[in-house]
């Protein structure tokens, strides 16, 4: 169990522009495994909302099902939340956004939730450019159902149950670019200096903003090259065929400059090669973004940063020419054409 | 040879090839009769195909207002060589067969007991039009012109219809008039007219309108305040959102900015469509989706979420022949069980059963009130026959003082005055909790919506007692729902017979006719028309009051009967299934025959499951 | 203070934190007792979470073989401070509370009427192990060691279990032995032992095995000849395909090439999983998928296709608490209606109800025969309790002469000898048509599989009569199914009481115990255990033979009762629902109380729907 | 109604290597609209199978729901066919392929069937490299449900009902490349010289072979720039609001050399710019393929030809190490471990 923040605190906490303390953006105590990357992302969300001075009730948080999808309980207690069914958060968010264009929509999902069961809805939410932030807490596995490989798992990954993944990983960033997404970024859960500004940028973007955040699952990630961790414990688990032991782990953090690489060691001892886009990267050129991504992939690097943003992004409401006033505030007067109009309609059917 | 003689009581059937533009001509024929004050009931019988296959348009004309389907064609207009054999056969002895005699009729199509009327439609169009597409289209108008003479349809009425239709394309009026006249004059020159079956102006439709159920649903959604429509195309529901868009576009634009006071999303599939509805209603808008059987199956996980998390939703299920892809262009009422109990776990959903376009309009508008009031999905159960065919209907009405019932929604002010908000607390003892809409209050009233078990304060729990309290409250809400849904309609002041008849939706047309016919034979039945599920006390009492009750429905498994037995704890043998499920709307004749076979005592078979339906 | 005295009749409960490795220690505890010849019934009560939340393991030990759950804990082992308040409370007066007294117990946890046994587990591990992960793990083994002294568990048996487990990791054996001994000796030094509640070797399990239902299903699939498994993970079904993979990997590799005689696909979702099964079976392989409620909802469109196009499929539904995401780690039987009638249109599916691991094995293997024979989906209805908990079960048996029943499949030779192959012809009058597998014959036997209506030759048709012939044949096939599915089990030679009891699946354990207890009180009941849907004549007769029949099930809406009434045309009031749906397995006590409240006459309430379930 | 081929024919028709005439590869008479592109593709399939000397019963044809998905009835009568439910053919094909690796699997789908409701399954069939040919008969609309825009419709397309499409078209070829597909090609329904060899190549590829075939819907395609067609008829339809008139149209054919462009006029008068990959195009370089595609897109060209093929493609069976013998032929002897093994298993649970 991770405590995002101890519950007791000094009364004179600093406040943001609209008078809220950071604590006002927190949520319930997390019940995820100690050291889970998802908790780091929750903390970054809290930080970003605090810094952006978002009114908590003007944000709606939505998710699917999974460890990742549980996190909305662990931040922003004063926001309405919606834990949808598995893989279907994008449609819920789309409908919610149609009903009220004035809120900020923060969607949280997992790689299983988005890249497998939710693939169809994920693709089409991008295509519609629904105005929302869409964070994938990407751990390459199904955490909540105990560690099966997901569709973003690297080729050769071993699931906790021992199954080898033979299939190429789906790169959600590449996919989003191909589909014409208007905001595409990637980060690492433990890299607050990069993640917080990216979340802030995503929240300010008028359209679908994808953030693919690599977020190690300390319990079930299990790269084959990993040798050093679990030692005794793994031997024990293999022998008893029960996978109910989760040693306490520390949050993995990393901090490295733009334009540079960092080799981060995960809990199972495997290494991930992060590469941060250079400071002079021009994120408004989709063509370059696609190429830069391909390049990094060929080098085995995980490219992080804001890859692409369309400065002329128009969201669904603009494209559909919906009225500015949120639809959920309209009442009889604005909606019901009245009996006289109805009589004319009747007449047209005689 | 026999001659049928009939005024304002006949069935006319058109046999066309789909994609040849016959629909508007055929519609004109039915509408003209309607405008002559005579009740009509047209039915499209079309293939699951776009062009080149047989399609029929059948119009029952009934001065008495019998608007169900009736077997036996009095006059057949056949312009499709593909289906000619079947078409010749379907004419009643003494009936008429109108055909294109540009080519000579093959001898195999000649029956001794019917009358043939050849009109050289192709030849006429060849002579008078040069563009092949115009030839194709006007052939249809020509036969309408011919019928006007044969059946005594008022030419002025037909012309009025054309003028109305082409109001904004004036130059199309004259050529249409010409085609009408070509047909008319050919008949007048070559035949005795009118026939012995013919029409006469009446005043039997009053202020009623002729409209399809899907358009009525769309208007109900516009009037009921729907702002979000999310859907995925599927026959026979597709035209609803089209009509919604048309009327919303006309009546729901902001006059200043020209912007829309509605949003329509063509979703990527039915799962997404239902998700969008749930998202929108959760966020305080009125939203709906439309589909048919396969879509309901796909929505079933989401329906369970909406039931359990208590989120309003309006779903229109325009039923078609099942199972699976089934008969996509045929009618049935086969989704009663799958809709009433959609989704895993202990779930049940409110169903509404409109039987006329007026009720499609009323119930759709009401569905939004019910969904908000009960915080649960409301499923409007239409079907292909009701949705896609025109029906004579009372005109639509709207009380301008009517307020939308948004149900138990707390405002920021309410929240200020409440000690502790509990999303799933049963404050009023009716099982319906209070909800808040996102964005209402900066620090009060937020909660987490989820499909998992939760306590009164919407907190996740695995506690068995809390779970039980919650699902038992849902049963209480279900009891409350009975008071809110449309009550059944009774057709007698007081029950006075041993035998009762229950019907609903599109079985109504034929059931009422069958009742009258049986009544004339001395067999009197009490009758009840269901308009909603859950059933209220009236239904229970009606059944209790009768020794036997016939339940008319259009599916194989007598699904309504099952639900009645289940929900009202009835003795099954008290309910006798009257079924038709061949994809054609049930006829009064079928109902009559099946009732007779069980009346006055259950004669032959003890096991009512073995009831055989005559092929119709 | 009261002292409970009991030999081989107690409930021991462990309160742990999940993720701390307690499962294997707890399993060892139960298994050791089983090896001492005493029937045990362990239950995991776990959260939908990976680490850090309370989890319980409850073992009922019953010399008499009562293996349902029982309320009231005789001995509680609490190593979780989070849940301590609840845990103290759940101990029966006179019972024992074993805890880690490294820190002093807070006074709020002290009850006057129970016994406290403090063992400094943390202190012991701190002293004897340095690696924090080893400390964590061995704490669990230490308390098992302590229990061995307290309850008189044979140390040799425990050590034998450890040796077996660590056969291939020999170096882990010694430290485990040490931990056992540390616990044992602490007790021996500090307490009187054994307690008044304790164990004694018996010979009451015979050749039975202790196994969970999911593993049994997996073995049934291996033996039943399944070659394709397509699935999507969901609690509580997940472990089935894991076990299938394990055994197939061991027993189904080609000895020469090392290649697999099976294929497992982790699908992208449940829709795809069911699609893959349908594709594989259409192509002549035996295939299955596993899921729980939400997955069944998602599969519902495909289930309708398989029903209507008549494609074999085996689906294992390990039910959990519903509706929606519901209580994912709690048990219920809430998907009866949604499984029996899954999909829109007139559909119905064969359900099998295993109640022991042996039946999980048998019925799974049989399900493949049934699916091929009946050409329709077969749904095995397990539940979390049966699937994820260990149960004492008769050993599995296999007759090596047994042949798979592949049903009516035509070979190339058959096709040569047939005049015209009609995929949907009812050649044998049993409603089951013949099929061909793709690739069979170069020019004969090919046909088109579709979800639309079709004639006997698999040609698309919109003809109503052909449609009716086809769906009526499906009803005939349904009748045939009754002869093939497992018959119900009766518990008496002859019915001899006015009152009957019907149960199925995991209600069996508690129902049998309740019957005995009631019998001792002079209330005799006849009993029938359902093993499949559709129901056969025996079921009808059993009900007809009794004035009142109690139907035991674990859902709110008495779904089995509904299906019985529906399918057998029963008088509803004859069937009294006995329900428990709080997510815990039903207890004999609950059943007994509910039956008593209705026996000998329906006393207080006339309306059986108002039956109240005592919170358990 | 289109007749792919008149039913009467000369007895001495030419035969292929295995003694089948082309007629042996034909199907029932098509019930699609006259001139529908889908019928041209059916004809190309017949031609390809004939030329490849495929044994008709060694091929299984599968489809979803739509006009396109009806076509398997119109070719290869001697092959088993499976008309699945809407959008779910990929999973059926995957399962079928698992059961019997010896057949050729020919999947036919529409753009609605694949890019909307079927998106999830489409993506994952690619990821698994299921050994099958997957032809999308891509007309940018939902033909069978009367002309709604599909997700591959160009921005600005008008549906027959008058709805404007505001969303970017999903490019299935680009998507497949991004997902790591091992065979990716595109063609035009009326270009037999290109299409037939592409189908043959696809059938010979050991893995998932995508063919995106642009296939105009003569009835519902309705580009806004279209002015010349429909004239009287369209005015009529607008006035009566019924869309039940489909004038007879001719099949659109085109024939142009590799490396060149062709501007093809569709039935509604709009123009499509096809560009055929040059003869020296190297299709084994994924990186170049992605770039070439992006380039063409920016020029508004529809690039046709075999864009990419992975010569080392390994299909699902190879990746999963399934036995060579089709699984559906295994019986008790190969599958059932027998009572002795079971007794050992029992013992392990005591
Ligand atoms: C319809 C349905 N299928 C399956 C499940 C079971 N399930 C819950 S979470 C999950 C996968 C979660 O993986 P991911 O989205 O990557 O989240 P993580 O736990 O890794 O953060 C699955 C398969 C479900 N809840 N609903
Ligand atoms: C579950 C489901 N939803 C909707 C439909 C209705 N439907 C039939 S075909 C079709 C679209 C077909 O479009 P496409 O795949 O592009 O094929 P085309 O007709 O254009 O060739 C739809 C929506 C259906 N049959 N099933
Ligand atoms: S299982 Fe993995 S993803 Fe889930 S909470 Fe634990 S560490 Fe995080
Ligand atoms: S509607 Fe379009 S896609 Fe369908 S058959 Fe006609 S032309 Fe082809
Ligand atoms: Mg994950
Ligand atoms: Mg299409």
Chain B nearest-CA distance from D33, in A, is 5
Instruction: Give the number of other CB atoms < 10 A from CB of residue B410.
Output: 20
**How do A208-214 and A183-188 pair as beta strands?**
parallel
A–C: how many Cβ contacts below 8 A?
104
The Cα–Cα gap between B519 and B514 comes to 8
Give C607's pLDDT tier (boundaries 50, 70, 90).
Answer: very low
D123 touches chain A (CB under 8 A): yes
The pair of three-digit structure tokens given for residue D7, joined into one six-digit string: 């039913």
CA dihedral C467, C471, C476, C478 (to 10 degrees): 160
DSSP C458: S
Residue B359 belongs to a domain with what CATH number? Answer: 3.40.50.970
What is the predicted pLDDT for the residue at D269?
A: 76
* pLDDT, tens digit (0-9, with 9 covering 90-100), for C538-564: 999 999 999 999 999 999 999 999 999
The Cα–Cα gap between C402 and D253 comes to 60
Give the pLDDT mean for D150-159.
87
Is A144 touching ligand 1 by the criterion CB < 6 Å?
A: yes
Region of residue A338 (phi > 0: left; psi between -120 and 50: alpha; otherwise: beta): left
- Cα three-residue angle C505-C511-C514, rounded to 5 degrees: 165
* pLDDT, tens digit (0-9, with 9 covering 90-100), for B556-570: 999 999 999 999 999
Q: Are B518 and B592 in contact (CB under 8 A)?
A: yes
What whole-number percentage of chain C has pLDDT above 70?
A: 97
Residue B547 belongs to a domain with what CATH number? Answer: 3.40.50.920
What is the predicted pLDDT for the residue at B458?
A: 97
* pLDDT, tens digit (0-9, with 9 covering 90-100), for A283-335: 999 999 999 999 999 898 999 999 999 999 999 999 999 999 999 999 999 99
What is the predicted pLDDT for the residue at B190?
A: 97
Establish if B48 belongs to a structural domain.
yes
With beta carbons under 8 A apart, name residues in chain B contacting D248.
Answer: 132
Give the structural domain span for B541. 489-612
Establish if B399 belongs to a structural domain.
no
What is the predicted pLDDT for the residue at C168?
A: 87
Query: From the list A129, A168, A290, which residue is nearest D180 (CB)?
Result: A168
Give the number of the atom of ligand 1 that is nearest the alpha carbon of residue A64. Answer: 15
Establish if C1 belongs to a structural domain.
no
Which residue lies with its CA nearest to atom 5 of ligand 4? D32
Q: What are phi and psi of D61, to 5 degrees?
A: -110, 135
Nearest to B524 by CA among B539, B538, B536, B514: B514
What is the predicted pLDDT for the residue at C609?
A: 40
Instruction: Give the number of other CB atoms < 10 A from CB of residue C107.
Output: 6
Give the pLDDT mean for C349-355.
98
Report the run of H or E that residue B62 belongs to, with start and end: strand B54-62
What is the predicted pLDDT for the residue at C611?
A: 40
The verdict on C457 and C496 lying in the same domain is no
Chain B nearest-CA distance from A259, in A, is 39
Chain A nearest-CA distance from B271, in A, is 8
The pair of three-digit structure tokens given for residue B400, joined into one six-digit string: 């301008």
Tell me the CB-side half-sphere exposure of residue C245, using CA atoms within 13 A: 18
Boundary of a domain, candidates B198, B226, B244 = B198
Token look-up 């879509």 returns B295
Instruction: Give the number of other CB atoms < 10 A from CB of residue B577.
Output: 23
Residue B520 makes CB contacts below 8 A (sequence gap 6+) with: none
Range with the lowest mean pLDDT among B315-324, B422-431, B595-604?
Answer: B595-604
The verdict on B64 and B158 lying in the same domain is yes
What is the predicted pLDDT for the residue at C602?
A: 44
The Cα–Cα gap between C286 and D67 comes to 32
> In B, residues 468-497, which contact C (CB 8 Å cutoff)?
468, 471-472, 475
Q: Are C251 and D337 in contact (CB under 8 A)?
A: yes
Please state the length of chain C. 616
The pair of three-digit structure tokens given for residue C78, joined into one six-digit string: 């609490």
The verdict on C387 and C423 lying in the same domain is no
Give the number of the atom of ligand 3 that is nearest the alpha carbon of residue A147. Answer: 1
- What sections of B349-425 are H helices per DSSP? 357-374, 384-388, 412-417
Q: CA end-to-end span of chain B, whole Å?
A: 26
DSSP A275: E
Sheet holding B313-319, edge to edge: B263-266, B228-231, B287-291, B313-319, B377-383, B350-352, B532-533
Inter-CA distances, C23 with A241, C28, C55, C236, Å? 10, 9, 10, 16
Chain D residues whose C-beta sits inside 8 Å of any chain B C-beta? 1, 31-34, 65, 67, 83, 85-87, 116-117, 119, 142-146, 148-149, 151, 161, 163, 219, 232-233, 235-236, 238-240, 242, 244-248
Range with the lowest mean pLDDT among B92-101, C15-24, C325-334, D85-94?
Answer: C15-24
State how far Cα A129 lies from the chain centre. 16
Give C294's pLDDT tier (boundaries 50, 70, 90).
Answer: very high
The Cα–Cα gap between B126 and B114 comes to 29
Neighbours of ion ligand 5 (CB under 5 A): A 110-112, 139
Establish if C278 belongs to a structural domain.
yes
Establish if B563 belongs to a structural domain.
yes
C235-262 burial by CB neighbour count: b if 16+ within 10 A, else e?
bbbbbbbbbbbbbbeebbbbeeeebbbb
Chain B nearest-CA distance from D219, in A, is 8
With beta carbons under 8 A apart, name residues in chain A contacting C215.
Answer: none
The verdict on C418 and C471 lying in the same domain is yes
The verdict on B293 and B366 lying in the same domain is yes
HEC string for B475-542:
HHHHHHHHHHCCCCEECCCCCCCCEEEEEECCHHHHHHHHHHHHHHCCCCCEEEEECEECCCHHHHHH
The burial class, CB within 10 Å (0-12 / 13-18 / 19+), for C85 is exposed
Interface test with C, best of A236, A238, A249 (most C CBs within 10 A): A236
Query: From the list D119, D287, D294, which residue is nearest A123 (CB)?
Result: D119
DSSP C104: P
Query: Would the pLDDT of B412 be above 90?
Result: yes
Give C108's pLDDT tier (boundaries 50, 70, 90).
Answer: very high
Distance B290 CA to ligand 3 centre (A): 39
Boundary of a domain, candidates C484, C509, C539 = C484
Give the number of the atom of ligand 4 that is nearest the alpha carbon of residue D137. Answer: 3
The chains found to touch D (3+ Cβ pairs under 8 angstroms) are A, B, C
With beta carbons under 8 A apart, name residues in chain C contacting A144.
Answer: 48, 50
* pLDDT, tens digit (0-9, with 9 covering 90-100), for A33-53: 999 999 999 999 999 999 999
The verdict on B427 and B537 lying in the same domain is no
Is D209 touching ligand 2 by the criterion CB < 6 Å?
A: no
Establish if C289 belongs to a structural domain.
yes
Query: Would the pLDDT of A242 be above 70?
Result: no
A171 touches chain D (CB under 8 A): yes
- Cα three-residue angle C298-C299-C305, rounded to 5 degrees: 135
Chain C residue with the nearest C-alpha to that of B49: C462
Handedness of CA D192, D196, D197, D202 (dihedral sign): positive
With beta carbons under 8 A apart, name residues in chain A contacting C132.
Answer: 247-248
Residues with CB under 6 A from ligand 3: A 32-33, 36, 38, 67, 139, 143, 217-220; C 50-51
Give the number of the atom of ligand 2 that is nearest the alpha carbon of residue D116. Answer: 15
The pair of three-digit structure tokens given for residue B128, joined into one six-digit string: 């008078």
Beta-carbon separation of C50 and A119 below 8 A: no
Range with the lowest mean pLDDT among B171-175, C5-9, D4-8, D41-45?
Answer: D4-8
* pLDDT, tens digit (0-9, with 9 covering 90-100), for A261-292: 888 888 777 788 899 999 999 999 999 999 99
pTM of the shown model: 0.96
Query: From the list D145, D238, D244, which residue is nearest B234 (CB)?
Result: D145
A300 touches chain D (CB under 8 A): no
Chain C residue with the nearest C-alpha to that of D322: C260
Chain C nearest-CA distance from D53, in A, is 13
The verdict on C220 and C320 lying in the same domain is yes
At residue A50, the 3 state secondary structure works out as helix
Handedness of CA B101, B106, B109, B111 (dihedral sign): positive
The chains found to touch B (3+ Cβ pairs under 8 angstroms) are A, C, D
Residue C64 belongs to a domain with what CATH number? Answer: 3.40.920.10
Give A10's pLDDT tier (boundaries 50, 70, 90).
Answer: low
With beta carbons under 8 A apart, name residues in chain D contacting C269.
Answer: 120
The verdict on B192 and B299 lying in the same domain is no
The burial class, CB within 10 Å (0-12 / 13-18 / 19+), for B156 is exposed
The Cα–Cα gap between C390 and C356 comes to 10
Probe ligand 3: pick from A220, A230, A243, A268, max atoms within 8 Å of CB? Answer: A220
Boundary of a domain, candidates B451, B484, B517 = B484
Structural domains of chain D, ranges and CATH numbers in brackets:
22-320 (3.40.50.970)
The verdict on C118 and C215 lying in the same domain is no
D173 touches chain A (CB under 8 A): no
At residue B82, the 3 state secondary structure works out as helix
The verdict on C186 and C328 lying in the same domain is no
The verdict on C52 and C31 lying in the same domain is yes
Range with the lowest mean pLDDT among C151-155, C166-170, D159-163?
Answer: D159-163
C348 touches chain B (CB under 8 A): yes
- What sections of chain D are H helices per DSSP? 37-52, 67-70, 89-99, 111-115, 119-128, 172-178, 192-204, 231-240, 286-299, 316-320, 332-335, 338-348
Is A306 touching ligand 1 by the criterion CB < 6 Å?
A: no
Beta-carbon separation of B324 and C332 below 8 A: no
Q: Mean pLDDT score of chain B, rounded to an integer?
A: 95
Is D226 touching ligand 2 by the criterion CB < 6 Å?
A: no
DSSP C90: T
Establish if C428 belongs to a structural domain.
yes
* pLDDT, tens digit (0-9, with 9 covering 90-100), for A61-101: 999 999 999 999 999 999 999 999 999 999 999 999 999 99
Give A232's pLDDT tier (boundaries 50, 70, 90).
Answer: low
Report the run of H or E that residue C313 belongs to, with start and end: strand C313-319
Which residue lies with its CA nearest to atom 1 of ligand 3? A143
The Cα–Cα gap between B219 and B589 comes to 33
At residue C316, the 3 state secondary structure works out as strand
Beta-carbon separation of C465 and B615 below 8 A: yes
What is the predicted pLDDT for the residue at D234?
A: 60
Establish if C333 belongs to a structural domain.
yes
* pLDDT, tens digit (0-9, with 9 covering 90-100), for B330-356: 999 999 999 999 999 999 999 999 999
- What sections of B191-287 are H helices per DSSP? 213-223, 239-251, 270-282
Which residue lies with its CA nearest to atom 26 of ligand 2? D86
What is the predicted pLDDT for the residue at D208?
A: 98
Neighbours of ion ligand 6 (CB under 5 A): D 110-112, 139
What is the predicted pLDDT for the residue at D231?
A: 53
The pair of three-digit structure tokens given for residue D9, joined into one six-digit string: 């024919």
Range with the lowest mean pLDDT among A217-231, B203-217, D173-187, D335-349?
Answer: A217-231
Domain count, chain B: 4
What is the predicted pLDDT for the residue at D265?
A: 84
Chain C nearest-CA distance from A64, in A, is 11
Q: Are C233 and C266 in contact (CB under 8 A)?
A: yes
What is the predicted pLDDT for the residue at C606?
A: 40
Give the ipTM: 0.96
Bridge partners, residue C40, by sequence: C61
Interface test with A, best of C22, C25, C50, C389 (most A CBs within 10 A): C50
The verdict on B332 and B388 lying in the same domain is yes
Beta-carbon separation of A81 and B449 below 8 A: yes
Query: From the list C22, C169, C325, which residue is nearest A85 (CB)?
Result: C325
What is the predicted pLDDT for the residue at D150?
A: 95
Chain A nearest-CA distance from C87, in A, is 21
Token look-up 């139907």 returns C551
Give the number of the atom of ligand 2 that is nearest the alpha carbon of residue D109. Answer: 15
Q: Are C589 and C70 in contact (CB under 8 A)?
A: yes
Please state the length of chain B. 616
What is the predicted pLDDT for the residue at B583?
A: 97
């Amino acid at each position: 169990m991770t405590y995002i923040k101890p519950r007791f605190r000094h009364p004179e906490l600093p406040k943001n522009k609209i008078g809220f303390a950071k604590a006002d953006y927190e949520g319930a105590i997390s019940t995820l495994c100690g050291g889970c990357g998802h908790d780091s992302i929750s903390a970054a969300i809290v930080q970003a909302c605090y810094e952006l001075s978002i009114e908590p009730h003007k944000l709606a948080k939505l998710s699917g099902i999974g460890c990742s999808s549980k996190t909305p309980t662990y931040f922003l207690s004063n926001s309405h939340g919606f834990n949808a069914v598995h893989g279907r958060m994008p449609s819920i968010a789309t409908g919610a956004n149609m009903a009220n264009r004035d809120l900020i929509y923060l969607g949280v999902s997992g790689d299983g939730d988005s890249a497998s069961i939710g693939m169809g809805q994920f693709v089409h939410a991008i295509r519609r450019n629904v105005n929302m932030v869409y964070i994938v807490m990407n751990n390459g596995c199904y955490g909540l159902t105990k560690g099966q490989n997901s569709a973003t798992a690297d080729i050769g990954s071993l699931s906790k149950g021992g199954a080898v993944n033979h299939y190429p990983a789906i790169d959600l960033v590449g996919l989003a670019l191909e589909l014409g997404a208007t905001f595409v970024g990637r980060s690492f859960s433990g890299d607050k200096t990069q993640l917080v500004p990216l979340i802030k940028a995503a929240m300010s973007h008028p359209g679908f903003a994808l953030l693919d955040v690599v977020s190690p699952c300390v319990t079930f990630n299990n790269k084959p090259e990993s040798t050093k961790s679990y030692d005794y414990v793994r031997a024990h688990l293999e022998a008893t065929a029960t996978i109910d032991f989760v040693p306490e782990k520390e949050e993995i953090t990393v901090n490295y400059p733009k334009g540079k690489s960092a080799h981060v060691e995960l809990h199972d001892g495997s290494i991930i090669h992060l590469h941060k886009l250079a400071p002079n990267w021009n994120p408004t050129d989709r063509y370059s973004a696609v190429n830069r991504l391909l390049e990094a992939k060929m080098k085995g690097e995980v490219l992080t940063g804001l890859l692409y943003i369309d400065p002329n992004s128009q969201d669904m409401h603009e494209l559909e020419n919906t009225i500015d006033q949120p639809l959920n505030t309209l009442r009889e007067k604005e909606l019901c054409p009245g009996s006289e109009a109805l009589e004319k309609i009747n007449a047209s059917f005689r | 040879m026999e001659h049928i003689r009939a005024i304002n009581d006949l069935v006319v059937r058109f046999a066309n090839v789909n994609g040849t533009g016959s629909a508007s001509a055929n519609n004109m024929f039915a509408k003209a009769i309607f405008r002559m004050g005579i009740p009509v009931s047209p039915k499209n019988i079309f293939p699951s195909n776009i062009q080149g296959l047989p399609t029929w348009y059948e119009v029952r004309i009934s001065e008495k207002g019998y608007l169900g389907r009736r077997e036996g064609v009095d006059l057949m207009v056949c312009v499709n060589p593909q289906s000619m054999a079947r078409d010749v056969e379907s004419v009643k002895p003494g009936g008429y067969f109108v055909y294109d005699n540009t080519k000579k009729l093959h001898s195999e199509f000649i029956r001794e007991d019917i009358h043939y009327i050849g009109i050289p439609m192709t030849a006429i169009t060849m002579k008078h039009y040069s563009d092949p597409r115009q030839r194709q289209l006007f052939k249809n108008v020509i036969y309408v012109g011919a019928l006007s003479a044969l059946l005594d349809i008022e030419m002025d009425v037909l012309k009025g219809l054309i003028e109305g239709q082409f109001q904004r394309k004036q130059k199309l009026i004259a050529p249409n008039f010409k085609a009408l006249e070509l047909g008319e004059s050919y008949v007048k020159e070559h035949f005795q007219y009118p026939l012995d079956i013919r029409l006469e102006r009446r005043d039997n439709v009053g202020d009623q309108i002729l409209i399809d159920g899907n358009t009525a649903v769309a208007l109900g959604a516009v009037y009921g305040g729907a702002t979000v429509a999310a859907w995925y195309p599927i026959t026979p529901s597709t035209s609803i959102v089209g009509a919604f868009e048309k009327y919303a576009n006309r009546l729901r634009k902001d006059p200043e900015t020209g912007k829309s006071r509605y949003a329509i999303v063509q979703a990527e599939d039915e799962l997404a469509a239902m998700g969008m509805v749930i998202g929108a209603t959760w966020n305080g808008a009125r939203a709906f989706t439309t589909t048919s059987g396969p879509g309901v199956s796909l929505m079933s996980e989401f329906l369970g979420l909406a039931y359990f998390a208590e989120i309003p939703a309006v779903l229109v299920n325009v039923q078609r022949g099942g199972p699976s892809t089934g008969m996509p262009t045929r009618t049935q009422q086969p989704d009663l069980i799958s809709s009433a109990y959609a989704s895993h776990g202990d779930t049940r959903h409110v169903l509404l059963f409109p039987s006329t376009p007026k009720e499609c309009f009323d119930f759709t508008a009401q569905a939004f009130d019910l969904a908000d009031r009960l915080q649960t999905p409301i499923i409007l159960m239409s079907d292909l026959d009701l949705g896609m065919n025109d029906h004579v209907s009372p005109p639509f009405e709207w009380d301008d003082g009517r307020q939308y019932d948004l149900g138990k929604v707390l405002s920021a002010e309410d929240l200020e005055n409440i000690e502790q908000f509990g999303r799933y607390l049963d404050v009023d003892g009716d099982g319906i909790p209070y909800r808040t809409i996102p964005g209402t209050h900066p620090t009060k009233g937020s909660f987490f919506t989820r499909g998992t078990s939760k306590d009164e304060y919407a907190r996740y729990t695995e506690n068995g007692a809390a779970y039980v309290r919650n699902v038992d409250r849902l049963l209480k809400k279900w009891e409350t729902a009975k008071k809110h849904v449309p009550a059944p309609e009774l057709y007698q002041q007081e029950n006075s017979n041993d035998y009762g008849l229950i019907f609903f939706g599109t079985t109504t047309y034929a059931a009422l006719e069958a009742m009258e016919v049986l009544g004339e034979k001395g067999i009197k039945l009490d009758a009840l028309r269901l308009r909603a599920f859950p059933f209220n006390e009236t239904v229970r009492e009606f059944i209790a009051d009768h020794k036997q009750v016939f339940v008319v429905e259009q599916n194989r498994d007598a699904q309504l009967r099952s639900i009645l037995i289940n929900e009202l704890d009835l003795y099954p043998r008290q309910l006798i299934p009257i079924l038709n499920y061949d994809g054609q709307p049930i006829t009064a004749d079928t109902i009559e025959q099946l009732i007779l076979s069980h009346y006055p005592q259950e004669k032959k078979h003890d096991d009512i499951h073995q009831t055989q339906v005559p092929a119709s």
